[in-house]
Amino acid sequence: MNHSTWAGIWAAMGALASAVVTFLLTRRKYTADAVGSEIENLLRLVKGLREIGEDLKARGDDLKIENSQLLAQSASLHDRVTRLAEECAAERERMVAEFSEERRKLVAEFTAEQMNAAQRGASERGAIRDQLRGLATEFQLMAAKLDALQAAVNRMETSGPPSKEPLENLK
């Protein structure tokens, strides 16, 4: 082998070595760029997740405040319903007592009128009958008021506070 052959082999080997070194360095650069790109993507993802977490935390804090307000409002409404139920029960007891007293008076009047009617003549019986009818009408009105009050109490016990309508009719 002569000198020019050896020079050609050495030149070819130099070029091959240069190509291998260039290939390895380029591959290393591309790998570093890919890792850098992945790290940048992960950093953007972490930043986005952190923002979402902060937003969720703020929304959670808002929901806690709203929940506390709703609980306070619910407690207030519960107290109001309880107070109204107590007032309704007291009013019912008062109406029952009033009705019982009126009934006792009406029965006494009716009994007295019956005894007096037996002693009076036929002409007076018509007037007494009219009075008794008036008393019976009053008695029926009192019974209707008591029934309306009882219905309001029953509605309140089953579905909350009564409407004002039945109580307005009692006046």
Q: At residue 163, what is the residue type?
A: S
Q: What is the pLDDT of residue 52?
A: 92
Rounded Cα distance between 94 and 82, Å, is 18
Name the one residue in this structure whose structure tokens are 């029953």: 154
pLDDT digit string (tens) for the chain, length 171 residues:
677 787 778 788 888 888 888 887 777 777 777 778 888 888 899 999 999 999 999 999 999 999 999 999 999 999 999 999 899 889 888 888 888 888 888 888 888 887 776 666 656 667 778 888 888 888 888 888 888 888 878 887 777 555 555 555 555
Q: What is the pLDDT of residue 65?
A: 94
Q: What is the pLDDT of residue 60?
A: 92
Rounded Cα distance between 102 and 2, Å, is 146
Q: What is the pTM of this model?
A: 0.38
Q: What is the pLDDT of residue 119?
A: 67
Q: What is the pLDDT of residue 29?
A: 72
Rounded Cα distance between 46 and 122, Å, is 107
Residue extents of the structural domains in the chain: 3-169
